[in-house]
Structure 1
Amino acid sequence: MNLPQSDIAARQADSAATRRLHIVTTVNAAWNMWNFRRQMLTALLADGHRVTVLAPSDEAVDRLVDLGCEFHPLEMDIKSLNPFAQLGLFFAMFRAFRQLRPDLVLGFTIKNNTFGSIAARLLGIPFIPNVTGLGTAFLSGKFLQRVAHLLYRVSFAGCPLVFFQNRDDSALFTGLNLVREDQVVVVPGSGIDLVHFAQAPMPAHDGPVQFLMIARLLRDKGVVEYVEAAKMVRESHPGTRFLLLGPAGSENRTAFSAEQAHEWERTHGIEYLGPSDDVRPHIEQAHCVVLPSYREGAPRTLIEAAAIGRPLIASDVPGCHDIVDDGSNGLLCTVRDAESLASAMRRFLDMEAQQWATMGQEGRDKMVREYDVAHVANAYRRAIADITGMSAITD
């Protein structure tokens, strides 16, 4: 039977609208995709798309491949802040995109976003960056800030849209004319798997109180303030424990070494736990999770701790104060101020157990309302459909 031309055209359009896309994600470390974007990758794979991770190789590569992704190694100098030394990265990304021939690229972290978006534009490939934080360049001197502004302005000009993880960062970028208002989409970080990070009962109130900071050992994360505040609080509350969990000596110019962390154990009473592949048991054993960072996109550790039902203490800065509602699910302190952090810790120690439980429940409720990973996955699905004209497929 011969079908009318209109029916043939309609079927061809339906087939084109659901074809399998090749999506490349690029970031400055494979572990970043595994730790922070795994649910997004899972959603893209579940929709039937081919997904390639373009990043420096590390121990997370095998896990990404087991998940169903392909992996393409990318050589880059993570520590360098000199943009003129990054031409090699630009050409490496240009060659990779030309070889991989993706339908769309999703970018994360400043160098991959800026140089990757320019390379993709030259090849006619849509690029969607996600501003996960401002990076060291924004927190450094005026020269580096001006260079970062120029890079963002030039590279993001051709992007169909730009994801931000909090409204402060999106307002900053639009105010500086680095992006247009019509490009901005705000998502709740990377979202949180509320089943994997299930709510857990608060630890008993009758033993030593445990504060826990989870972060890479970087100056910009407020590690020094945490260490100094711990020493202050121990003077009035000597039984209190201060735990520090996270990798030392990372590829960042503000990183502290493991040797320094062990020195803090001796001089300030910190308990350094090193890195961990699963933070949940550590959060469950803590009474309060602390992050005195200088600025964040959407801090994963606070989101995970709130999902498990732990009160939070964080600096009153973009990213952190999106998650911590002062007096509700946690307490806010002044950024770069160890005394202010110590004061917030003392306030927490003076509370009753029921107040802690109420704060923990408020945090869990907020994560359910606002930070479910489904919100982020659906935002990416809508963006991909709008830009490519392709809807998700599930076979």
Structure 2
Amino acid sequence: MTYKKTLCFSANTSWYLYNFRYSVLKSLKNDGYRIICIAPFDVYSQKLIDELNVEWEDLSINRKSLNPIREIKTILKLHSIYKKNSPDICINFTIKNNIYGTIAAKINNCSVINNITGLGTAFYKRNILYYIASLLYKKILNHSSFIFCQNKHDQLFIKQKFNICSEKIILTPGSGVNLKKFKKNHNKERSDSFNFLFVGRLIRDKGINELISAFELIDKKKYNCHLYIAGNIDKENRTAISIEQLDNWKKKSNITWLGAINDMPALYNMCDCIVLPSYSEGLPRTLIEAGAMGLPAIASDIPGCKDIISNGMNGYLCDARNTHDLYSKMLIILNSTTEHLNILSQNALLNVINNFNEDIVVEKTKFAINKIITFRD
């Protein structure tokens, strides 16, 4: 079979490529590109092969490892994959894949598109990690043909900090959302209880401690409400909560831990408001998915969250790390009339339809690829 060009997509999990880049991969495959997915093996690796008819290459990568021998082996593995497959463009996601993928791609004379899904905590404190991350990012971003950013704060920071020309930086609505999969149920029946929902890794940086504390204050006032928590402990993260903490939360009244959920639309449909009091974000997909299902949101007033949520329009913004401000915003939602909640719900849906449709991501990806191919040819 003759392909238009060969594209490599690299990430730190096959789960990420399947759940966040499925539509991009499918559309490019249908356009006649040879697609190679590069990621560690998990249950989604075979799904990528079977459902999308793409190729898959195994990559051993540990996102928290600082072992220099292990990291060099990862770069050499990427170099080997690129040398064998001769990709025209390497498209990277997540920080280590951005860095190592760019190094390996440049050795093999491949063009690169790097995706900044959030600058993370490395850029919030001027410590040794800040200077190392800055040096590495400056090198790889200057070697990128295009850089995709997910929020305006990161876009401006990258432009100014690393002296990147505006034409190379493309602002995207994250990975977008499939509006056919995440579709508001206009005949939704309200339960007697008002249901709050948290979706994310159980780490302190997601504001989960503040959320539990705020909900406890609400529960003391005897509101008829419930908090559902969907997500698992991220043991590799330095701010992961302990198993003991989770066990303690599970014992509290009106709090239910659900673990990992496969049917997210069904979960959103049973809830009334999503809460994300995070300390830092790129562009949180869960707020976009929930918005597509018509859920208003309470989220931290930080880059990423405030690119999606506007105060009083489709939800409310609260101060990060502030239990009492989060509590006050949850009270506003709880005390809102049905009419006001319906307005927030409709605005949430319209915002996603107009600004976060995954078709936007597909088209911007194709634009960058076509630009690179035209220049290379």
TM bucket (normalised to shorter chain) is over 0.9
Q: Kindly provide the amino acid, as one letter, of the partner of residue 275 in structure 1.
A: A
What is residue 378 of structure 1 aligned with on the other side? 363
Instruction: Report the residue type matching 2:152 in the other structure.
Output: R
1:220 touches 1:294 (CA, 8 Å); kept in 2? yes
| Partner AA of 1:226 in structure 2 | L
One-letter code aligned to 2:146: L
Question: How many Å apart are 1:141 and its aligned residue?
Answer: 5.7
Unaligned runs of 5+ in 2: none
- Alignment partner, residue 42 of structure 1: 26
Q: TM-score, normalised by structure 2?
A: 0.93
Structure 1 vs Structure 2: percent identity of aligned residues? 34
Q: Distance in 1 between matches of 2:257 and 2:187?
A: 22
2:34 aligned with 1:30: no
Alignment of 1:103 onto 2:84: no
Query: Which residue is equivalent to 1:362?
Result: 347
Question: Which residue of structure 2 lines up, in the alignment, with residue 156 of structure 1?
Answer: 141
* Distance in 2 between residues matched to 1:139 and 1:264, nearest whole Å: 30
Q: 1:106-255 counterparts in 2 under 5 A? A: 106-139=91-124, 142-177=127-162, 179-201=164-186, 204=189, 207-255=192-240
Counterpart among 336, 343, 348 of residue 351 in structure 1: 336
Instruction: Name the CA shift for 1:306/1:219 in 2 (closer, same or farther; >3 Å).
Output: same
Q: CA separation in 1, counterparts of 2:329 and 2:341? A: 13
**Cα shift at 1:19:** 4.8
CA-to-partner distance for each residue in 1:70-91, whole Å, 9 max, x for gaps?
A: 1101011222357786333222
Q: Note if contact 1:78-1:252 (Cα within 8 Å) is conserved in structure 2.
A: no
Partner Cα separation in structure 1 for residue 43 and residue 121 of structure 2: 25
In structure 2, do the counterparts of structure 1 residues 342 and 259 end up closer, same or farther at CA, with 3 Å as the change threshold?
A: same
- Asked if structure 1 preserves the Cα contact closer than 8 Å seen for 2:275 and 2:298, the reply is yes
Report the secondary structure of 2:341's partner residue. Answer: helix
Q: How far is 1:26 from its partner?
A: 0.4
Distance 1:57 1:143, change over 3 A: same
Pick which of 134-143 and 243-252 moved more.
Answer: 134-143
- Per the normalisation by structure 1, the TM-score is 0.89
Question: Could you list the runs of 5+ residues in structure 1 that have no partner in the other structure?
Answer: 1-17
Q: Determine if contact 2:297/2:315 at 8 Å carries over to the other structure.
A: yes
Provide Cα deviations, 1:257-290, integer angstroms capped at 9, x if missing partner: 5553232122575310000112111101101011
SS of 1:290's partner is strand
| Higher alpha-carbon Rg | 1
Contact 2:121 2:280 in 1 (8 A): no
| Alpha-carbon spacing, 1:152–1:114, altered in 2? closer, same or farther (3 Å) | same
Alignment partner, residue 245 of structure 2 = 260
Instruction: Kindly provide the amino acid, as one letter, of the partner of residue 186 in structure 2.
Output: P
Q: Deviations over 1:309-336 (max 9, x none)?
A: 1111100111100110110000000011
After superposition, the C-alpha distances for 1:224-270 in whole angstroms (9 at most, x for unaligned) are 22122111221124432011001223543333355532321225753
Shift in CA distance, 237/99, structure 1 to aligned 2, threshold 3 Å: farther
Conserved? CA contact 2:181–2:265, under 8 Å:
no
Q: 1:375 to 1:264 in 2, by over 3 A?
A: same
CA–CA distance in 1 between the matches of 2:163 and 2:68? 17
Aligned counterparts of 1:88 and 1:259: Cα–Cα separation in 2: 36
Hey, what's the Cα distance between the residues in 1 that align with 2:220 and 2:53? 52
- 1:324 is matched with 309
CA RMSD in angstroms comes to 2.1
| Secondary structure in 1 matching 2:234 | coil
1:313 counterpart (258, 275, 298): 298
Is residue 384–residue 390 contact of structure 1 (8 Å, CA) maintained in 2?
no
**Partner of residue 6, structure 1:** none
Answer yes or no: is the 8 Å Cα contact 1:203–1:287 preserved in 2. no
Deviation at 1:198, TM superposition (A): 0.9
Distance 1:85 1:334, change over 3 A: farther
User: How many Å separate the matches in 1 of 2:152 and 2:190?
Assistant: 37
**Count of equivalent residues:** 374
Check whether the contact 1:328–1:359 (CA below 8 A) recurs between aligned residues: yes
For residue 273 of structure 1, the aligned residue among 217, 233, 258 is 258
Q: Is the 8 A contact 2:117 2:174 kept in 1?
A: yes
Alpha-carbon distance in 1 for matches of 2:158, 2:190: 44
- Give the alignment partner of residue 56 of structure 2, picking from 68, 71, 74: 71
Q: Residue 335 of structure 1 corresponds to which residue in structure 2?
A: 320
1:97 deviates by: 1.5
SS at match of 1:322: coil
Whether 1:56 and 2:40 are equivalent positions in the alignment is yes
Asked if the contact 1:214/1:245 (under 8 Å) is kept, the reply is yes
Q: Deviation per CA, 1:317-357, whole angstroms, max 9, x where unpaired?
A: 11100110110000000011122111110111010111111
Q: What SS class does the counterpart of residue 43 from structure 2 fall into?
A: coil
